[in-house]
Amino acid sequence: MTDITIQSVAGKGIVVRGDDIDTDRIIPARFLKEITFANLGRYPFHDERFKEDLSQTDHPFNDPDRQGAQILFVNKNFGCGSSREHAPQSLKRWGIHAIVGESFAEIFASNCITLGIPAVTVSENDAKKIQSCSSLNADLIWTVNLKTSTVSCQELTVDFHMRDHHRNTLIDGLWDSTSLLLENLGEVRRVYESLPYIQNYQR
């Protein structure tokens, strides 16, 4: 049985500052025509990371020291605007496994949960502490612990808030509906074959 429970996420951090960063900034609309989600990891913050001649800017996602970062630190109302699932998909496929912010657009946060990405909120003051600490040291390993509801590194520990339903969905492994379906395929088939109208049709 595949373990799809998520009790904590650990990794290096990356900071993207600013309030009201919408989904079109996270992934511009022209990239939504991709047939699958497979290549979306190329496009997070594309129009802020690249100039018209495709030369790189100093955006955090271009910082060599931040490549491989797994925990994204943001500010207020992150993921507002369109409800497109492509925004958290692009972040996940770039390598982000958890997001810590002051607040999130509700649909964005829910989309994160369906992908197994904890999106947790901290106070404005704690967000500043975390972002400052992470910006000063790219090598810090951060842990988002769903059991203790804390975000921590060796230098700092703060409490976070998350809806109980979202938290329990991740901890109990209920977020991955595809894996759950495959792992319970025998039970699904049993129920299917017991349905009266299926039995009548098969006769």
Instruction: Summarize pLDDT for 40-69 with one digit per residue, the tens.
Output: 999 999 999 999 999 999 999 999 999 999
Helix (H) / strand (E) element for 8: namely: strand 8-15
**pLDDT tens readout for residues 130-169:** 999 999 999 999 999 999 999 999 989 999 999 998 999 9
3-state SS class at 28: coil
Q: Could you give the angle at the alpha carbon of 175 between the alpha carbons of 85 and 68, nearest 5°?
A: 65
Radius of gyration in angstroms for the set of CA atoms belonging to the chain, rounded to a whole number = 19
For the chain, the structural domain boundaries read: 8-172, 176-203
3-state SS class at 90: helix
Q: Round the average pLDDT of the chain to a whole number and report it.
A: 87
**pLDDT tens readout for residues 6-18:** 999 999 999 999 9
Regarding the domain delimited by 8-172, which CATH topology (the fold level of the hierarchy) does it fall under?
Answer: Aconitase; domain 4 (3.20.19)
Please report the sign of the dihedral spanned by the C-alpha atoms of residue 125, residue 94, residue 56, residue 12: positive
pLDDT interval class at 2 (50, 70, 90): very low
**Contact status, residue 189 vs residue 149, Cβ threshold 8 Å:** no
List, in sequence order, every beta strand (DSSP E) within 46-96.
71-73
Q: What average pLDDT does the segment 83-102 reach?
A: 94
Q: What is d(CA 133, CA 4) in angstroms, rounded to the nearest whole number?
A: 31
pLDDT interval class at 182 (50, 70, 90): very low
**Contact status, residue 17 vs residue 189, Cβ threshold 8 Å:** no
Predicted local distance difference test score (pLDDT) of residue 184: 47
Please report the sign of the dihedral spanned by the C-alpha atoms of residue 114, residue 168, residue 160, residue 163: positive
Q: Could you give the angle at the alpha carbon of 95 between the alpha carbons of 43 and 25, nearest 5°?
A: 35
Tell which wins on pLDDT, 70 or 165: 70
pLDDT interval class at 186 (50, 70, 90): low
Predicted local distance difference test score (pLDDT) of residue 118: 96
